[in-house]
Chains A and B, each alone.
Chain A
Amino acid sequence: MKRPVSQHRRRVLLRLLGLGSLFALGGCDRLSQSDWFPRLLGSAERLNLRVHRALARRSTLATEFTEADLSARFPSNGTYRPADADYQALAARGFATWRLPVDGLVEQPRRYSLAELRTLPSRTQITRHDCVEGWSAIAKWRGARLSALLDEVRPLPRARFVVFHCFDTMDATGARYYESIDFIDAYHPQTILAYEWNDQPLPVPYGAPLRLRVERQLGYKMAKYLRRIELVESFDGINGGRGGYWEDHGYEWYAGI
């Protein structure tokens, strides 16, 4: 190699190093603020969903634990006491007047009282709750199988998602918490509408009177303070259109990871 080429190489090397440090110092921030880059990064979500779904059978259960494994203190994350007047009024009466409408794309819309939900086939499970933040806690949940409830209301063939509307207002925009799952999770044996936590009626910090458990996904999928269940073909028209409160704020709809 002759000298000029080696000098050229040195210049290329310096430029590469410069580009690298630029990338490290703020380049990532600018990319994060752009439109296209987060969308590109988000393309991994569909891949993860497909791979995970291909690996698991529909009935593959999340690990269940024993009473000895229970967390001494189970954290309450997000809302721990909804300030909403309608919720407070229901809570004041011990949720005796609370009713859960199940509607949307179903043949037989229904309203359930807590007592009626307790007559549905139930499941009790001691599972590990994994938060998107990174912590884990173990608790015992008992609730109505969502599959049993769906069998009663009979989803229409067009229905693809189950949307859970909640009582808790999350921010100044007035947006209330909501979440959605597809039928693979909705009919999973461990997917329950929990009304008991550690053998007591579901306490307010954990979502009284009723919360969702989707044991193969992260905590934010497991909507608390359920107000209404709606079956839809698409969640495009609901709030931010991403299928959940945190999804509207940039988190993945598929939270199995």
Chain B
Amino acid sequence: MDAPHPIRRGFYRHRLPVRITHWLNFLFLVVMLGSGLQIFNAHPALYWGERSDPGQAWLATMARTDLADGERQGITVLFGREFDTTGVLGYSDGTPRGFPAWATIPGDRWLAMGRRWHLFFAWLFVLNGLAYIAWGIASRHLRRDLWVRGDEIRDLPHTVRSHLSLRSLRADAEQGYNPLQKISYLVVVFVLAPLMLLTGLTMSPWLDAVFPALVTTFDGRQSARSIHFIVAFGLVVFTVVHVLMVIAVGPVRELRAMITGWFRPRGPHG
């Protein structure tokens, strides 16, 4: 974080490259998620290992006609247990489909178009991520703002407690990233995003021929497909928590900071 400027407009918190890559990343993630769910819908089931043996899915969605009333139902099977997910998973908008139309790109079932979106935006997602990391290293942003210091790790219990109180959370937000925040950002940048990329690459039979060890590392192509899905879900959870935190500590203040770069601390003038 730059030194605080003792003027009305507050701190210059987010430098331009951070702001640009942040919002591009958000856009690309939305597109990757929507088109990814479209691709998932072509075979809405996940397996472990190399093969997708029928009946061996650990997660599957399906449509079924209820024997009692003849109504179409959406069913999700997770580790052998069935859940009625009509309207969301398995059956929605009057059609059998994994995820509903509002969650997929495009909305209709259209695998070819979903693949086009996914395989194009994958490049943008990766290039944007690499640009962020390269800039983060060169500018020492990662080292200064994201790297967790020893004393912060020792202080972790305090940080966890402060998350239970809105007031101390808000006070923390004015100090810069807190250690929990740093850890979650580091996990996203250096664990989840690379996992997303590597498992995505193993979906390619050509790249599997070139890098067979990658598929083996993930215990087979269908495992890699499962991990790809689970990590995507992890990124969604991260984003939801991230947005909830922004709302908790002051959405206008935080959004303004990520758009203009300037963070104005809470003062007597609000």
Interface residues of A, Cβ cutoff 8 Å to B: 1, 9-10, 12-13, 16, 20, 24-26, 28-29, 32, 38, 40-45, 47-48, 52, 55-56, 60-63, 65, 69, 71-73, 75, 128, 130-138, 215-218, 246, 249-252, 256-257
Q: Please give, as numbers and ranges, the residues of chain B lying within 8 Å of A215 by CB-CB distance.
A: 205, 209
Cα-based distance from A102 to B34 in the complex (angstroms): 44
A28-B105, A29-B107, A137-B52 are known contacts; what are 7 more A-B pairs with Cβ within 8 Å?
Answer: A24-B34, A29-B105, A55-B207, A132-B111, A136-B51, A252-B119, A257-B207
Are A47 and B8 CB-contacts (below 8 A) given A9-B260, A217-B206, A218-B205?
Answer: no
Does residue B43 face the partner (Cβ distance < 8 Å to A)? yes
Cα-based distance from A215 to B107 in the complex (angstroms): 32
- Tell me the number of A-to-B contacts counted with CB atoms below 8 Å: 140
Q: Please give, as numbers and ranges, the residues of chain A lying within 8 Å of B206 by CB-CB distance.
A: 52, 56, 216-217, 256-257
A131 x B43 contact (CB < 8 A): yes
Chain B residue with minimal CB distance to A1?
B9
Q: Please give, as numbers and ranges, the residues of chain B lying within 8 Å of A43 by CB-CB distance.
A: 120
What is the distance, in angstroms, from A44's C-beta to the closest C-beta of chain B?
Answer: 4
Does residue B259 face the partner (Cβ distance < 8 Å to A)? yes
Are A134 and B119 CB-contacts (below 8 A) given A9-B259, A28-B105, A65-B50?
Answer: no
A130 in complex: contacting residue of B205, B255, B262, CB < 8 Å: B205
What is the distance, in angstroms, from B265's C-beta to the closest C-beta of chain A?
Answer: 14
- The number of chain B residues with a CB under 8 A from chain A is 51
Cα-based distance from A29 to B106 in the complex (angstroms): 5
Chain A residue with minimal CB distance to B212?
A63
Cα-based distance from A101 to B206 in the complex (angstroms): 30
Q: Please give, as numbers and ranges, the residues of chain A lying within 8 Å of B163 by CB-CB distance.
A: none
What is the distance, in angstroms, from A23's C-beta to the closest C-beta of chain B?
Answer: 8
Cα-based distance from A182 to B102 in the complex (angstroms): 39
What 1/0 flags go to B104-136 for Cβ under 8 Å of A? 011110111101110110110000000000000
Does residue B222 face the partner (Cβ distance < 8 Å to A)? yes
Cα-based distance from A134 to B40 in the complex (angstroms): 7
What is the distance, in angstroms, from A22's C-beta to the closest C-beta of chain B?
Answer: 13
Q: Please give, as numbers and ranges, the residues of chain B lying within 8 Å of A29 by CB-CB distance.
A: 105-108
Could you pull out 15 A-B pairs where Cβ atoms are within 8 angstroms? A1-B8, A10-B252, A13-B255, A13-B259, A26-B107, A28-B107, A44-B119, A52-B207, A61-B209, A71-B51, A130-B221, A137-B51, A138-B51, A252-B116, A256-B207
B52 x A135 contact (CB < 8 A): yes
Q: Please give, as numbers and ranges, the residues of chain A lying within 8 Å of B71 by CB-CB distance.
A: none
Are A257 and B53 CB-contacts (below 8 A) given A1-B262, A29-B106, A41-B116?
Answer: no
Q: Please give, as numbers and ranges, the residues of chain A lying within 8 Å of B217 by CB-CB distance.
A: none
Cα-based distance from A201 to B108 in the complex (angstroms): 40
Does residue B54 face the partner (Cβ distance < 8 Å to A)? yes
Q: Please give, as numbers and ranges, the residues of chain A lying within 8 Å of B260 by CB-CB distance.
A: 9
Cα-based distance from A73 to B221 in the complex (angstroms): 18
Are A32 and B205 CB-contacts (below 8 A) given A9-B256, A138-B51?
Answer: no
Q: Please give, as numbers and ranges, the residues of chain A lying within 8 Å of B117 by CB-CB distance.
A: 28, 32, 41
Cα-based distance from A137 to B54 in the complex (angstroms): 10
Does residue B42 face the partner (Cβ distance < 8 Å to A)? yes
Cα-based distance from A252 to B113 in the complex (angstroms): 10
Cα-based distance from A26 to B107 in the complex (angstroms): 8
Are A136 and B52 CB-contacts (below 8 A) given A55-B210, A63-B208, A63-B212?
Answer: yes
Does residue B215 face the partner (Cβ distance < 8 Å to A)? yes
Are A134 and B42 CB-contacts (below 8 A) given A29-B106, A218-B205?
Answer: yes
